[in-house]
Structure 1
Amino acid sequence: MKVYTFPKSRSLRVLWSLEELHLDYETVRVDLLSATPEIRSPHPQNKVPVLDDKGFLIFESAAICKYVCAKTAGQCLYPAELRANARVEQWMSFALTELEPPLWSLLKHVALLPDALKVAAVEEVARREAESAIKCLEHQSIASWITGDTFTIADIFVAQNLMWAKTCGIPLPTVFEEYLLRCQTREAYQQAVIRNNG
């Protein structure tokens, strides 16, 4: 399998999943910031991540992560049991629809866009919405991981969003700082970061 990547992007989620599943893969770093890229992504908009599995192309991080989990049926990263799966889907959906949109908007207006394109009002609204989503997340009782005692792909999505929150200067409750530390000390995470950002 081949994954098209870019440092500090959503491609980290895919590599993290692949590392957790102990699957072999190679990475291709895309020239996302070049006006005349030598290496382009096969994504219609030249975005990452994209997975190429022997000519079968798939993009969108959630779809890719579910796909690689399906290739390794029986692994606990994406459980098959109905209620366990529903919990994973619930928190992935929350991460993708409630946490990520305001955090991504905030991240752009805090750190990624040129100053001329940053809009203070957009940053203010995005920060307020992100903080509201994190407050909702605080009501979740965390044992070890977001769905209970087993690490799943829901943790990968929630954790990356919480990392973005910290980058944007949003303070996290102690329980989530501890949760992030558990995520970031996983060997699979550390290997994924090296391969995504190296």
Structure 2
Amino acid sequence: MKLYNFPLSGHAHRAHLFVSLLGLPCELIDVDLASGAHKKPEFLALNPFGQVPVLDDEGTVVPDSNAILVYLAKKSGQAAWLPEDAEGAAAVQRWLSVAAGELAYGPAAARLITVFGAQFNPDEVIARAHTLLARVEAHLAGRDWLVGDGPTIADVALYSYIAGAPEGNVDLSGYARVNAFLRRIEALPGFVPFPKTPAGLLAAA
């Protein structure tokens, strides 16, 4: 199994984290985005969208971080990560949609400004981030995990960009439940941290 990776990408970390939590043997192949390696024909043959991560499981190629989470949850046979019942599966899918939507256009976009120089409106994306964080904080009232009584791929999908939000000048200090949620994920066997950069609030720390 090979995972085409870029260490500072939260999408790539999401996939790397889950591979590690599952304890699966996997070769990490770093893709040099700065040199445009993700736009070269050999990479586009794996993912025509030119994005990391991409999983290659002995010829079964799976692009997209959330698709990789679903694939690995099913392939591993560790059913607790992706419930089989209709209600549980739908609840997980809801959070995967949040990861692809509100998370990407809030905390992830804020971090793209400071770490990669993306041309977004900082006030707008930081406001979106706090709207999402407030909703996650409220959802975590009386629960440890986003869905059910244990960790699922929903939790994995949200972890990286929430943990990295301070790099985008998104202050997490007002979200006690969210911070406790992050610590619970970090305590899971096989956890691998999302590399930090001295950007945003971390630059002043």
Give the TM-score taking structure 2 as reference length.
0.81
Once the two structures are TM-superposed, the CA of residue 154 in structure 1 deviates from its matched residue by 0.5
TM-score by length of 1: 0.83
What CA deviation, in whole Å up to 9, does each residue of 1:47-100 have, x standing for no partner?
A: 210011122212010111101111123421111122222221122222221122
Deviations 1:99-137 (A, max 9, x none): 222222221222211xxx646xx1111111221122222
After the TM superposition, which segments of 4 or more aligned residues of structure 1 sit over 3 Å from their partners? 39-42
Match of 1:58, SS state, is strand
User: Structure 2: any 5+ residue segments left out of the alignment?
Assistant: 196-205
Compute the RMSD of aligned alpha carbons. Answer: 2.3
CA contact under 8 A between 2:109 and 2:125: conserved in structure 1? yes
Contact 1:78 / 1:152 at 8 angstroms: preserved in 2?
Answer: yes
Higher relative contact order (CA 8 A, sep 6+): 1
Measured in 1, the distance between the counterparts of 2:78 and 2:111 equals 36
Q: Where does 1:1-198 land on structure 2 (aligned, <5 Å)?
A: 1-9=1-9, 10-35=11-36, 41=43, 42-113=46-117, 118=119, 122-140=121-139, 141-172=141-172, 173-190=175-192
Distance 1:96 1:36 in 2: 24
Q: Structure 1's 160 and 142: CA in aligned 2 closer, same or farther, altered over 3 A?
A: farther
Name the aligned partner's letter for residue 67 of structure 2.
Answer: A
| Paired amino acid for 2:125 | A
- Asked if structure 2 preserves the Cα contact closer than 8 Å seen for 1:106 and 1:127, the reply is yes
CA distance in 2, matches of 1:74, 1:107: 32
Q: Could you tell me which amino acid in structure 1 is paired with residue 93 of structure 2? A: E
**Residue aligned with 1:71, SS:** helix
